[in-house]
Structure 1
Amino acid sequence: MSIDWAALGQVFGVSVGVTVGLVGLFTLGIVWLSRTEETPDQVAVSGGSAALARTGAYTCFALCAAAVAYGIWIIVN
């Protein structure tokens, strides 16, 4: 029995990269979602950036959900 170390290294590298990317994307969504909890005075000063932050957060969460759904689809098929 022989192990293809190059292929194993590629799988490991891609797995670590995708994991770090998804965790980073989810963290970015949490950070942006925390910016939507501004007081009315802060919203007036920021010029409506809370709505933009909320949209960005929901986009990050949707991309994470799509990645998880794609992973499940790959496993099933």
Structure 2
Amino acid sequence: MDINWGTLAGVFAISLGVTAVVVVMFSLGLAAWARAGHGEPTSHPPGVRHQKAATAIALLCFASCLAVAAYGIGLIVTG
């Protein structure tokens, strides 16, 4: 039994990078969601246009996280 250390290091690096990207995208989605006013009520609500843009950005971030998770599950299930 022989381990290809270069390939193992490549898989580790890619996994670490994808994990970091997903965490950042989810954090940006949460920040945009809160900025859109879906968190705590604020004393002065933002403009409707900014609220819609922030909601769209949040949903895009969450959708990208979901897509990465679905792709990983698909890789695992199909073998």
Which category of TM-score, normalised to the shorter sequence, fits these structures? 0.7 to 0.9
TM-score, normalised via structure 1 length: 0.86
What is the one-letter code of the residue matched to 1:49? H
Hey, which of these two has a bigger chunk of helix by percent?
A: 1
Compared with structure 1, are the counterparts of its residues 51 and 40 closer, same or farther at alpha carbon in structure 2 (3 Å cutoff)? farther
CA RMSD, 1 decimal: 1.7
**Any gaps of 5 or more consecutive residues in structure 2?**
none
Percent of aligned positions with the same letter in both sequences?
A: 39
What is the one-letter code of the residue matched to 1:60? C
**Any gaps of 5 or more consecutive residues in structure 1?**
none
1:1-77 equivalence runs, <5 A: 1-37=1-37, 39=42, 41-44=44-47, 48-77=49-78
Q: Deviation string for 1:8-65 (max 9, x for gaps)?
A: 0000000000000001100000000010116474424xx7211101100001101111
Q: Deviation above 4 Å: which 4+ runs of structure 1?
A: none
CA–CA separation in structure 1 for the residues paired with 2:19 and 2:44: 38
